[in-house]
Chains A and B, each alone.
Chain A
Amino acid sequence: MHEDKELVKKTLAGKHGAFEMIVQKYQQPLLNYIGRTVGEYELALELTQDVFIKTYSSLHSYRSHYKFSTWLYKIASNYIIDYWRKKKIKAFSIDQQSEKEDSPPPIQVPSQETSIYEKYELSEIKGKIETALEKIPSYLRELFVWKHINEFSYQEIAEIKDLPVGTIKNRVFQAKELIRKQMEGMG
């Protein structure tokens, strides 16, 4: 983290190479996040590039008491929401209260039926997850991607979204259950 702050300082001092190092460090995780969230590779590349440009132009407003990666993902998340808004694609804001938000989590009823996890190979399950991921609301998809693809902690996600950890945990859980339901529907 200290390294990121150093790189930001050098970039602001006019050293372009320092910002290139930031790009090289975050291009892979950021593309994974944007790509899995928007579901289109070419669009994801374009948006990732735009996010880096936006990050550079906002660099003067970065405050060093923030973790740089948190700040970067916050920019990315807002950028995607703006993009969807402009394209008039139904995007759910993370702050939007879902109907089931306060309903108690469903009680686990163990089943004796053969599940898809027993029927299919891991590679096939991965394919089904990718398909199911596209069918869940974007505000849940984003959180699922951060937690299980970017492998962020609940605390980190809560910091990015400025929401309580409990809310994030609950929404990631909702995302997982929705994906599992979609996968079961695929047979």
Chain B
Amino acid sequence: MKCLQSEQIYLYLEKELPGPETALIREHLKECPLCRKAVKERRVFIKAAESLPSLKVPQDFSRQVMEQIFPLKIPVRASILAVTACFSVMLTALFILFLRSGQTLVNILINLNHSVWNFLKHTLVLSAKISKLAVLLIKTISQCIQQIFNGLASLTSILGPELQIALIILSLAIFTIIFYGLKKKLSIGEHYE
């Protein structure tokens, strides 16, 4: 038998050849080291190709596909019901106001409009002021903390460890004196009462 052709080797490895041809190839491979080497190389090649790692499927992939196919839809019946309920509540409220105030419906609507507008105007101004104050407060506190840390950092870089310990003890002592001083003052106040 002649040396093997490349295609023949692949088909042999993939068990795609008829029995008699496979037997002939086996016999030839016993005698031919070069064809044995060629078969071995292609076996390694196929093994490597077949063991290439799988690409990673994201965990929520199927959910994403389903969301694309079936986008979230609110049923028409539910939407109609919700709108009807809102209108019913509004009409009932208007009717109660009409009965209690004795005003005409037009006047009630005008007054309601004014009240809602005033409420919104005041609430918006107030919330804007509060948020501005909160931002300023946060900025000031963060700057103070930053300054304290900077001061401590420069102190620790200047002072030696012994002096640092002495400073901590001194700070603790001052803090204790202030604390007890305040406590005493408060208790004196209690005696007067």
Q: Which residues of A does B touch, CB under 8 Å?
A: 16, 19-20, 23-24, 27-28, 31-32, 35-36, 41, 44-45, 48-49, 52-53, 56, 105-112, 115, 117, 122, 125-126, 129-130, 144, 148-149, 151, 154, 169-170, 173, 176-177, 179-180
Find chain A residues with CB under 8 A from B11 CB. Answer: 169
- The 10 tightest CB contacts between A and B, nearest first, are A110-B34, A148-B49, A35-B55, A125-B48, A23-B62, A105-B7, A117-B44, A117-B41, A108-B6, A173-B7
Q: Which residues of B does A touch, CB under 8 Å?
A: 3-11, 16, 32, 34-35, 37-38, 40-42, 44-55, 57-58, 61-62, 64-66, 68-70
Residue contact B16 to A126, C-beta cutoff 8 Å? no
Closest B residue to A173 by beta carbon equals B7
Cα A151 to Cα B46 with chains together (Å): 11
Closest B residue to A35 by beta carbon equals B55
Cβ-defined partner of B45 (8 Å) among A16, A24, A173, A180: A180
Cα A170 to Cα B6 with chains together (Å): 11
| Interface secondary structure of A, over-half rule | helix
Closest B residue to A17 by beta carbon equals B66
Residue contact A49 to B65, C-beta cutoff 8 Å? yes
Closest A residue to B36 by beta carbon equals A110
List 29 contacting pairs A-B, 8 Å CB cutoff, sorted by A. A16-B69, A20-B62, A20-B65, A27-B62, A27-B65, A32-B54, A45-B58, A45-B61, A52-B65, A53-B69, A56-B69, A105-B6, A105-B7, A108-B5, A108-B9, A108-B35, A111-B34, A126-B48, A129-B48, A130-B52, A148-B49, A149-B50, A154-B16, A169-B16, A170-B7, A173-B7, A173-B10, A179-B45, A179-B49
